[in-house]
Amino acid sequence: MRLLLVEDDPTLRAQLRAALVEAGYVVDEAADGREALHLGETEPFDAVLLDLGLPGMDGLTVLRRWRDAGRTTPVLILTARDRWHEKVAGIDAGGDDYLAKPFHIEELLARLRALIRRAQGLASPLLTCGAVALDTRSGRVTARGQPVPLTSHEFRLLAYLMHRPGSVVSRTELTEHLYAQDHDRDSNTIEVFVARLRRKLPPGAIETVRGLGYRLAAVP
């Protein structure tokens, strides 16, 4: 899952980035409103963390512009404490949830998981596809009840597929959602990670749909 982190306070941005990466996300950052607007218009993020008080262009304007342009990416708004009117304005501008600063990182991560899940129509934090289960809260993966140890890269790949059960996901889409913008992308590496992940899952769990991409299959 790829996130856009919009926050102009460098200390808070660095802390959030570290926690998000630790939680298994890839993160692009923007420190001002114009950069955020541009990234959100051009890159496919799974969710956005949006501070409202920003240089260049305020967060509410950025959000309205995205929504006016038809971007439906889930947005979690970060507001200053006691600015209740900002929360109202943020939700009305198209925000999906908000969090008042200061907040506990665990709450931020839980809200983020819920936003990403709901964007795919998934209600439960425990994702299952046949014999494979992924708990988005703990990051644990099991196959037929047995733990499956995954590298962070393999986990991100599986998590993306598990959020889209039954859908064919192209290599381009995977590349766009598993790497940040500044990462040296080579779509061949996706094949390498799919091959590694396949070896750790029950046979047939990841189907190749010729010419189109990959699909998770519910194998018993």
Residue 156 to residue 5: CA distance in whole angstroms: 18
Would you say 89 or 174 has its CB closer to Ca ion? 89
Q: Is the peptide bond preceding residue 147 cis, with omega within 30 degrees of 0?
A: no
CB under 8 Å to 56, separation ≥6 — which residues?
A: 32, 33, 34, 35
Q: Establish how many alpha carbons lie within 13 A of residue 7's alpha carbon, considering only the half-sphere containing its beta carbon.
A: 22
CB of 9 to Ca ion, least distance (A): 6
Would you say 83 or 196 has its CB closer to Ca ion? 83
For the chain, what is the radius of gyration of the CA atoms? Answer: 18
Site for Ca ion in 135-154 (CB under 5 A): none
CB of 51 to Ca ion, least distance (A): 4
CB of 79 to Ca ion, least distance (A): 10
Would you say 8 or 43 has its CB closer to Ca ion? 8
> How many positions of this chain bind Ca ion (CB under 5 A)?
3
Would you say 58 or 173 has its CB closer to Ca ion? 58
Site for Ca ion in 5-64 (CB under 5 A): 8, 51, 53
| Chain position whose Cβ is nearest to Ca ion | 53
CB of 12 to Ca ion, least distance (A): 8
Residue 95 to residue 98: CA distance in whole angstroms: 7
Helix (H) or strand (E) holding 209: strand 206-209
Q: What residue ranges bind Ca ion (CB under 5 A)? A: 8, 51, 53
